Structure 1
């Protein structure tokens, strides 16, 4: 931390920056830390817009000791113009090089990193720099804000020797920032004009629902507006922006209404990531969905239809999946149908017999009496839940019971459980199996799954039946929250999702669920590339923040970490304020 003498008399914005930097673990006498250095996209929209402006700046600053640096929206230096060899060497000594991510935790207080942190123009001169290594500089930085989206696209910085400090450089730099913003606007207009032209062409010649997406543009024809609700538009937007969508392709999407559409994506030639998406209802899929919806769909997952049963037919069904995927509910639904009842009655009726092996054999793992009694008194349909917990002896008895039983049997098994020969023999008795997909594998159906879940929560909170489908108002997950939820890993699958949505609903039956309603543990998307240990650590930090209502000091104490260490972890795992 700074001494009172060192920190005295600082401007408020610089004093706040010093506090942030000290909490990140830097000390005044340190050198600039080694920044993260990555490749630069030389064809990026920001570099393209800034190029001529930077050329003009470099010409004006020729034969001076000033340099101009451009950073992108992640504070990575993507372009640098210097007035000669000496300024270049000076910048390299403080590691301000192209490709470097120049943030406060690496370089302390300076007009590039601090402007990026605050989103406002900042000047930092001499002793206002936190690190002594940077006190030879006087610099001024300003954010480059896209004139249409209002988002920060980057930071433009002018840096020179502290003895050459000149306040006239500030309006000089601000004019350059305005020039880059104007070129961003013009570039977007040109790209979006191409997207708009292609959209008009497609809507004129196609009878399909058409949506178009550009950097600052989102269009849809009347068919698309009738077909797609807001959740569906968020789904289509995510599909259009997916990495695999860099070229034309076709896939099936499930809408919140349950309808299936065939989506074709085409990249607009000459545009900056502009795409056209054509959506056509799959008539066969919709017809089949309507006629078999009781058995083809379960909480958004597409399932194979139940085979037609004759009076003499005997069915052995295996339902398996990861924990939380809804195996028990699905098994009960199948059992109800096999008993000749509507699957929606599966939680209340007694037309089938149910045994939870995990519960029954936890205390008496070798007592077979429950299985014998269940088979003897069964009404004709048996459900054995959690058969993966059975030891060899009891698994053998269940297999014998299944083989000898004259009625229908439904087995439920966890796919993550350790396999054994007896369990494999038991699974071999089935005539049909269903594997419920993990939630993370249903990205394209996620909007429909969310819709089903919030309708049930709304009905529960207004004390309506869970399957009530009257045209009443219900909760709605706004697109920004839906996008964050769709990017979670969901190890607990539907059980975890329902817990999160229940917490976000807060007892409401109507209204919007926004990002602010999502629990802290799920408010931030998963970070790719983490080891298993890092994933566990990140989850523990999120849970601690949630338990302390975002109080970082208390969370650090609960975790047994210093505040500086916690702040480092928050940045590392991209957990925002």
Structure 2
């Protein structure tokens, strides 16, 4: 979406929020909580950047996802004093709701890099500044952590301002990932739009009967609401099966309906993504599942709301549903349309669902039944699955593609040891080597210790320190 249209949409939202166009009404939140990984890494990055810009009239800031200013670094006393006068300072909230259109407010609302110059600010008291801001997402979860904001005088050259902010935000996310114990970053959202034929990635009918009561209750509640024509939001962690609940519920409530799934893409692709599926809302026998609407830019949420209302006027009702992490994270224009909220617990709280999903995933990978040893079942059901059912499906498909009987040696090392807060690179290498040795059929702890070159007692101590507990023997 062109920057000018984004700024216009932000001005319209600012007016709707009742923001003063003349003066900043400060919103003081009190003491800043500065113990997050995002804050620690962001401060380190901005401190290093400031060392190269010490003679420049710029202010470097971090904000939380709600626009609260967490810190501010500048060597220019006059700029700091001026920013104090407009309350762009630590402890003050500066989102669109509080300050109208600003660089940081727009970056957080649209989840996109944003540059707001002089008169583009909604509030006239900010016309003397140019602000560039870039959102920072947690590289593991995709959750919005906050923003990096660089502010300078409007009379200064700002050609490189946004590039500097993007570099700082990228370095912050990279540092967060480096300190996350070597875990794999979340894939970037692709924003696919696809038709669901049957139950995509869902357990088959016979497997569904084996699922947990939590799953069955979620499907039942969702189906009841959809049958009554009420839009539903299924909330919970990513990968937990929220879209699958909606697909199964739609099949139950509206057996002949055509189901489209539209997963929110990177903010730069949202405009084209909307054009792919929004016209489908007006078709009475088509249902649309919009996934991860909590990642939508604010302008897109307003366009989606308008499209839903138009479709409802022409078709009598637009059949749609959505998924999100939490209802408060759903953009207000869409939250206002949601009639029913269904909470789906994460997979670690639905242990009974692990093996039904695993067996289905293995069957999809090999197109026939695949066996699991008791040791493999124990490892799968004992794992915390931070990536939920989506992670389980990836792991099992990879294992089933190599064997007719899945055993522990076919599973990745991190599945075979309980999750810890953070492992150093050396600890991760040590853990993987121990697990590889223990996973070989017929290997005892003593044999694995001898192979690695340590004593049996040392092996047990290291297993305890690294949280490794691997059942021995192919049958568990």
TM-score by length of 2: 0.43
**Greater RCO (CA < 8 Å, at least 6 residues apart):** 2
For the pair shown, which has the larger CA radius of gyration, 1 or 2?
1
TM-score, structure 1 length as denominator?
0.37
